[in-house]
Amino acid sequence: MIHDGWSPYRTLNCQHGLCNAHHLRELTYLYEEFKQDWAGEMIELLVYANNQVKKCPLSPEQVAHLRGVFDTLLEVGDLMNQRNPSVQGKRGRVKQSKAINLIDRLRIYSEDVWRFATNPLVPFTNNIAEQAIRMPKVKQKISGCFRTQKGADVFCTIRSYLATLHKQGANLFRSLVKTFQGFVPQPAATG
């Protein structure tokens, strides 16, 4: 399961991968707003690794090398960002900066960050899944809700059908015209 690291996802019994598009956005923020060069280098590293994986699977030695660079960049990030100390007598986790939180997440869940490089079935991001659910969320925000469960089901069925046709390169307008003419285009089966 590819996700953004939201902690409730960790309760699901499956293999996890973290969405690197989320990491790239956070790293871009640190690089552009706080001029942290390590974040820019981390962006380059992750993008380079993704491009290499797209060409051909990486060997364990290549992954180990890239992860070594990754660990070094996290150490540089640690040096550039001061951690807030814990206060004696105060319970709970000490609030840290966005940079420290990102560094900790990248370090603690590094296996999940690099899952795309070690498992060819795992994508670099979950953007396709997020895009698929964006329209129902927009519809829900605009109208406030779906009036009935049946209405929500019909909306999602139509969106799913159109999203599948779009991913397969079909012209959506022509497909809808054919559908209303009684000749429903069927998406190609994949397997």
The one-letter amino acid code at 88 reads Q
From 32, 61, 190, 49, select the one nearest 116 (Cα to Cα). 49
Confidence of residue 60 (pLDDT cuts 50, 70, 90): very high
Please classify residue 91 by burial: count the beta carbons closer than 10 Å to its beta carbon, then call 0-12 exposed, 13-18 middle and 19+ buried.
exposed
Q: How far is CA 141 from the centre of its chain?
A: 22
Beta-bridge partners for 17 = 2
Task: Calculate the average pLDDT of the chain.
Answer: 89
Give percent of the chain above pLDDT 70. Answer: 90
Please state, for a pLDDT cut of 90, what percent of the chain lies above it. Answer: 61
Contact criterion met (CB below 8 Å) for 23 and 46? yes
DSSP annotation of 187: P
Mean pLDDT of all residues in 51-67? 97
Q: Which of 10-19, 26-35, 62-71, 161-170 has the lowest mean pLDDT?
A: 161-170
User: Poorest-confidence range of 12-21, 111-120, 125-134, 152-161?
Assistant: 125-134
Instruction: Say whether pLDDT at 191 is over 70.
Output: no
CA nearest to 166, candidates 139, 134, 128, 140 = 128
